[in-house]
Amino acid sequence: MGKFFGMKIEKKSSLYDGKSKTLFETNHSDLVIQYFKDDATAFNALKKGQIRNKGFLNNSFSTHLFLYLKKLQIESHFVEKLSEREMLVQKLKIIPVEVVVRNRAAGSLCKRLGIEKGKVLRPPLVEYFLKDDSLGDPLVGETHIQQFGWATLDEVFQMKQTALQVNQILSSLFEKIGLSLVDFKLEFGKNSKNQVLLADEITLDGCRLWDHTPGESMDKDRFRLDLGKVDEAYEEVFNRLNQYFMEQK
Ligand code: ADP
Ligand code: UDP
């Protein structure tokens, strides 16, 4: 296992078994381990399957992106990649709001409001969804978030600003590897010092990426919509990103 300021980190019991990751306690009360699985779900877990090597690919992909964001002053829960499928992160109290940034219309936005798929959204649209599977993650507004105490207005402002910065950074990064960032979901949480940090993962499970040339989906929509070549798309995008970072070294 890894080390944290000289302390040897040991994996303890499972804290939470999610749809695509399992969280483990460690011998440090402020740190947990995220274990990335190959399991994939869609439509509020009505569709279930596996994507070959997804755990490894998502852990590596997220590690690249959290490190890249850190260089550009965006702090996250990321501490260290421990192994192929394990990431050491700060233990956070997750804010139960998913922050979605959209550069083009797709997915639930098209269904909900009849917006044409692919319509460019300038400025980017920021939406919030309550993180509650039993309610189907409903769309909520800033006033709901404040009213029901899911986050303060100041925290909402911080999440929104960070999400828009992440959007600028990742949009130009993905452009360099021939992909358009259509939309993505972020989660945030508070650490023991009450700092709001970017949490969870940034992977193809929670992004839409369209290839420049054929305009094809290179993300979890291949799984959601049975488009085929799901494993290949995850691998291809990871390889392009990996190659890009290797060339920068
Ligand atoms: P789900 O909960 O939707 O099944 P996952 O399988 O990805 O999703 O499970 C990971 C869970 O861990 C998510 O609920 C996420 O909010 C939570 N989480 C992510 N980062 C942290 C963190 N740093 N501390 C505590 N919980 C976290
Ligand atoms: N998303 C996610 N988890 C969710 C819901 C959405 O990661 O529970 C991501 C999804 O991959 C997409 C973006 O957020 O990149 C916007 O998703 P949308 O609201 O269109 O929902 P969808 O129809 O894709 O479920």
**pTM above 0.95?**
yes
Burial (CB count within 10 angstroms: exposed 0-12, middle 13-18, buried 19+), residue 43: exposed
pLDDT at 142 over 90: yes
- Provide the pLDDT for residue 11: 97
Share of the chain above pLDDT 70, in %: 100
User: E-strand spans in the chain?
Assistant: 3-4, 7-8, 11-17, 21-26, 31-36, 39-42, 47-50, 78-81, 86-90, 93-94, 97-104, 120-130, 139-140, 179-186, 188-190, 196-198, 207-211
Residue 4: is it exposed, middle or buried by C-beta count within 10 angstroms (0-12/13-18/19+)?
middle
Answer whether 25's CB lies under 8 Å from 186's CB. Answer: no
Instruction: State the closest ligand 1 atom to the C-alpha of 187, by its place in the atom list counted from 1.
Output: 16
Write down the mean pLDDT value for the chain.
97
Pocket probe for ligand 1: among 34, 36, 59, the residue whose CB has the most ligand atoms within 8 Å is 34
Is the CB of residue 156 less than 8 Å from the CB of residue 147?
Answer: no
Contact in structure between 219 and 39 (CB atoms under 8 Å): no
For ligand 1, pick from 94, 188, 204, 207 the residue to mutate: most ligand atoms within 8 Å of CB.
94
- Residue 41: pLDDT band with limits 50, 70, 90: very high
The single-letter DSSP state of residue 133 is: G
pLDDT of residue 4: 80
| pLDDT attached to residue 191 | 96
Rounded distance between C-alpha atoms, residue 226 and residue 213, angstroms: 21
Average of per-residue pLDDT across 178-186: 98
The answer, yes or no, to whether residue 75 has pLDDT greater than 80, is yes
Count of Cβ atoms closer than 10 Å to residue 2 Cβ:
18
Q: Check pLDDT > 90 for residue 2.
A: no
pLDDT at position 209 over 80: yes
Model confidence at 214, pLDDT cuts 50, 70, 90, reads confident
Pocket lining for ligand 2, CB < 6 angstroms: 98, 100, 106-109, 137, 183-185, 205-208, 220
- Whether the per-residue pLDDT at 1 is higher than 90: the answer is no
Query: Are 163 and 99 contacting, i.e. CB atoms less than 8 angstroms apart?
Result: yes
Ligand 1 site, residue 79, Cβ cutoff 6 A? no
The pLDDT value given to residue 215: 85
